[in-house]
Structure 1
Amino acid sequence: MKNIFSILKFTFLLVILFAVIYPLAIYGMAQFSPNKGKGETITQNGRVVGYQKIGQKFNTLNYFWGRPSAVDYNGAGSGGSNKGASNEEYLALVQKRIDTFLIAHPYLNKLQIPAEMVTASGSGLDPNISPQGALIQVKRVANERKIAEKKIKELVEAQCNRPSIMGPKTVNVLALNVALNELK
């Protein structure tokens, strides 16, 4: 009986520690982060349209497309497909993505498509593509929106995020598409 009572006290202590104190401490620390821990949002016309760090699905011809997602851009369930490069199902899926990309971009050939445009990232939620991935879509977006390619290309170059120390340049697809909507 003595052991059961001490086990119950220890369990109660752990519940208080991990179900009350720890979450309150994390919440308190989040209040010092950007947007008070609610994520870095992107707004358009005063309305939140998405999050800076989570990829969004764009598949219409008048928007720039991001990386494919193995989790259909579901932020609650981040993850990759976990299929290797020799998996026949995975290879068929990548080929389907290549074919779809080429239908929308008939001015390209298979070798001109950056790998990121037909393969999902490890998280399935990557919000960024390379400048090259954005630039090959300029012609399609310009044609659909009836805007000069030069103007769209300048927009892409203005949206390039340069790394603070090292790493490749990236383009946030949601931020680019929001800027595209604001383009006159």
Structure 2
Amino acid sequence: MKNLLRPMLVLFVALTVVTGVVYPAVVTAIGQAAFSHQANGSLIERDGRLMGTEIIGQQFDAPRYFRGRVSATAPNPYNAGSSSGSNFGPTNPALADEIKARIAALHDADPGNEAAVPVDLVTSSGSGLDPEISPAAAAYQVSRVAKARGMSVARVEALVAQATSGRQFGVLGEPRVNVLKLNLALDGE
């Protein structure tokens, strides 16, 4: 037994050092050197003040701002500590009731808007933290935001176009608009 104990302890200590110290240090160094912005949380700062992150949505309720996807995190919206979906299936009556209420709220916020409400404005993502909306969801909100800010619709549409990201590598995903970046661009006008 003594002959086996020493090699096991040496192997345990060696693997602990390699997998618990060396590997994390190397990965952290590579992340900081090659992907510093992403490794540090993709933070967005303006005038030395932290505004948020590119990868977690924020609550915007004022008429002068674009709204993001609905957050499923409770009790606080966009809480990364409680990331989850709503767990309502497509046939669940509670989901249908929530969607109807959200559509009604969007119509109340912009009564003259007769366009169809894009699905991403009334449903949450799987994580409940999605920071982006579809270009259609942004287009749906343009007239409300332009009116609330006293801006031309054309200028707000131009800001939406500037904030729209295409498919990754030209083929992956869908075009999307980061709501925080768009709202910060509006505030910069």
Could you tell me the TM-score, scaled by structure 2's length?
0.83
2-structure distance, mates of 1:39, 1:69: 19
1:48 paired to 2:55:
no
Q: 1:77 to 1:4 in 2, by over 3 A?
A: farther
Distance 2:142 2:136 in 1: 10
Amino acid of the residue matched to residue 89 of structure 2? G
- Pairs within 5 Å for 1:1-184: 15-31=16-32, 32-35=34-37, 37-71=39-73, 72-109=77-114, 112-163=116-167, 164-166=169-171, 167-183=173-189
Q: 1:97 aligns to what SS in structure 2?
A: helix
Q: Distance in 1 between matches of 2:10 and 2:94?
A: 53
% identity of equivalent residues? 36
Q: 1:130-179: CA deviations, max 9, x gaps?
A: 11111111111112111222211221122211223124321111110000
C-alpha distance in 2 between matches for 1:19 and 1:25: 11
Query: Residue 106 of structure 1: CA displacement?
Result: 1.0
Whole-angstrom CA distance in 2 between matches of 1:77 and 1:17: 32
Q: Distance in 1 between matches of 2:8 and 2:112?
A: 70
- SS of 1:136's equivalent in the other structure is helix
Give the whole-Å Cα distance in 2 for the aligned partners of 1:4 and 1:134. Answer: 65
| Alignment CA distance shift 1:43-1:128 (3 Å) | same
Aligned residues: 182
Q: Which runs of 5+ in 1 are unaligned?
A: none
Distance in 1 separating the partners of 2:38 and 2:151: 38
Structure 1 residue 35: Cα displacement = 2.3
Q: Report the more deviating stretch, 75-84 or 13-22.
A: 13-22
How far apart, in 2, do the equivalents of 1:17 and 1:81 lie? Answer: 40
Q: What secondary structure sits across from 1:48 in the alignment?
A: strand
**Structural RMSD (CA):** 2.3
TM-score by length of 1: 0.85
Q: Structure 2: which 5+ runs fail to align?
A: none
